[in-house]
Amino acid sequence: MIAIVGRPNVGKSTLLNHLLGQKISITSRKPQTTRHQVLGVRTEDATQLIYVDTPGMHLGQSKAINHAMNQAAAAALSDVDATIFLCDRARWTDEDDFALNLVSQQKHPVLLVMNKIDLMDAQDALLPLARQLSERCAFDGVFPISALRARGLDELTAHLMNLAPTGPHLFPEDQITDRSQRFLAAELVREKIVRQLGDELPYATAVEIESFKEDDRGVLHIHALILVERNGQKKILVGESGDRLKSIGTAARKDMQKVFDTKVMLKLWVKVKSGWSDDLRALKTLGLDPQGDR
């Protein structure tokens, strides 16, 4: 099992999706898009690699949801065979320091993976940063990549396969994630909200699937409830004459049809639930248990 760890918005979910060759983890340009641990499974002949996509480790926010996300990321390191520490080749923050300090304490192999090399002229420009970081953590290897362009991933995958322990497969060969279709549906709706309204509704929404049924024609009927914290946020989300909510639903439905490989009928509702992001019981109901339970 391999944890993918780093600060928010460094490309962890994009990396996971490209390593698997299929989208299972939502992405956006907004930090803290990922809120849960998500397992991705890649099986090649006798070797099965299990990746754990984690929420970005962040500082300076005190709500219960932020504590839950940090704890979920830290918990991923406790039972893995290797860790990918992902960083941006051109930007270093206090949150990178926070994540690096945590992974440097691990006893298993840690790989330094430097992302976004497609935005630089020469890879040798990475050497000073790689040397500096290697003084703080005994990395098992250094891998320059572009998660977005899928460059450098073959070398990274080959190294991880060499690290994989011998043993029986934990998942069937055709399974690519431990998460349910209901979970993936909720995440796809939330992704579209973040992408379309990230500047106006940062971290203020959650999605709960109230109904997920397949009819006798194989059509999936999905009803999703979107939670916001204030009436003003609901107005933004619904939009003029419901146009924004319709746009979000259309984009989410198209992705669901690709992921589930069937026709999808999607209905969305919006509900105001004041303070949900700092309510421990609400977070647990939404699968964001601050104690790290899955």
pLDDT tens-place string over residues 87-123: 987 788 888 998 898 889 888 999 999 988 876 666 6
**Alpha carbons 240 and 51: distance in angstroms, whole number:** 41
Q: Residue 294 pLDDT more than 50? A: no
- The angle that helices 231-238 and 243-260 make with each other, rounded to 10 degrees, is 70
State both tokens at 117: 């090399």
Q: Place 202 in a pLDDT band, splitting at 50, 70 and 90.
A: low
Instruction: Look at residue 280 in the predicted model and tell me its pLDDT.
Output: 55
Q: How far is it, in rounded angstroms, from Cα 278 to Cα 226?
A: 16
- Report the distance separating Cα 22 and Cα 150, nearest Å: 12
**All domains of the chain, ordered by start, with CATH?**
2-163 (3.40.50.300), 181-285 (3.30.300.20)
- pLDDT tens per residue across span 216-272: 999 999 999 998 888 999 999 999 889 999 999 999 999 999 989 999 999 999 999
Q: Residue 50 and residue 185: Cα distance in Å, rounded? A: 21
Percent of the chain with pLDDT over 90: 41
**Would you say residue 64 has pLDDT above 70?**
no
pLDDT of residue 60: 54
